[in-house]
Amino acid sequence: MKYRELGNTGEKLSAIGLGCMGMTHAYGDRDDAESIKVLELALDLGINFWDTADIYGPHTNEELISKVLAPNRDKIFIATKFGFLAQKDGERSFDASPAYAKKAVEASLKRLKVDVIDLYYAHRIDPTIPLEEMIGGMADLVKEGKVRYLGLSEASAETLEHACKIHPIAALQSEYSLLTRDAESQIIPACRKLGIGFVPFSPLSRGLFSATLPTDTNEFKADDFRHSIPRFSGEYYENNTKLAADFASIAHDKGCTPAQLALAWVLAQGDDIIPIPGTKKTKYLKENAASVDITLGDTDFKAIETVVKKYPNTGPRYTEAAMSMVNK
């Protein structure tokens, strides 16, 4: 495994992190035994950057991870997130107030079975309170020794600038992949200016670039949240499966898997970028880890861009309701 520094923290993290959400949340059936094998294999492969959140499950993701995290605490840089609350009607509310942050961190510490969380993200920017209040409450957790570093998720460049004046921000997590490149114009430059690590989630576009998805979304499990994502419906999904097939041909010619090529592209966008592809299968973890050894040249980049431009009708990454929670 190769390693990269997280922003200005000096922390050496695996260039490929591990997104743990799908082990208990959003992508169909659980297989805890296999997930435990994935976590143990991650240690063997040197993948020391693990990402979760209290809403995943809810709560079950942190509990599952703890089984491998707690006995191997010194080998893992653990990141979790707070803010979303699951409601009885299946909907979510959001609260990143200092009072709730204090309550949430205690619960996460207990579920993870650790004394301190390495990186604690606000899952979104709370629009109901001043940023000073929100970041100030998170900063108190650092002062109390419950959290080492603070992170934000889906925050704008302007918000990042403001937040850093209140307390250092170690990382920004946002969706970034060949199909989701909004961050390139302002957010990634802001991270570099401010010394903030950029952590892309869904670097494989929710599995589109894995070349393992069915052409008919009816084959997804009923509880697979991709049913609610525009890119996985109608004309958008028809477009995207064609894109993925052409992309897979480039990977084949390159001698790697489509997932490896997609991750190699993300990694090539800067040494300060640490993607966290998710998986709950050892086969795909090995595949993802090997992407750090793939080097792309000008010919590769041109071929990739040609395919992406050939299929522009990719669709929005979220519904309008979900996008309303993305800070702009």
For tokens 């920017």, the residue is: 125
Q: Measured at the alpha carbon of residue 13, what is the angle toward residues 103 and 167, in degrees to the nearest 5?
A: 45
CA distances 204 to 3, 22, 66, 179, 294, Å, are 20, 13, 26, 9, 16
- Classified as helix, coil or strand, 328 is coil
**Three-state secondary structure along 54-77?**
CCCCCCHHHHHHHHHHHHHHHHCE
The candidate with the shortest Cα–Cα distance to 91, out of 325, 327, 328, is 325
Active site residue 56: yes
How far apart (Å, rounded) are the C-alpha atoms in residues 120 and 149? 6
Which of 56, 121, 284, 311 is catalytic? The answer is 56
Residue 127 identity (one-letter amino acid): P
- Classified as helix, coil or strand, 210 is helix
How far apart (Å, rounded) are the C-alpha atoms in residues 75 and 177? 28
For tokens 């009072």, the residue is: 99
The β-bridge partners of 199 are 173
For tokens 């670097």, the residue is: 203
Residues in the chain: 328
Residues with catalytic roles = 56
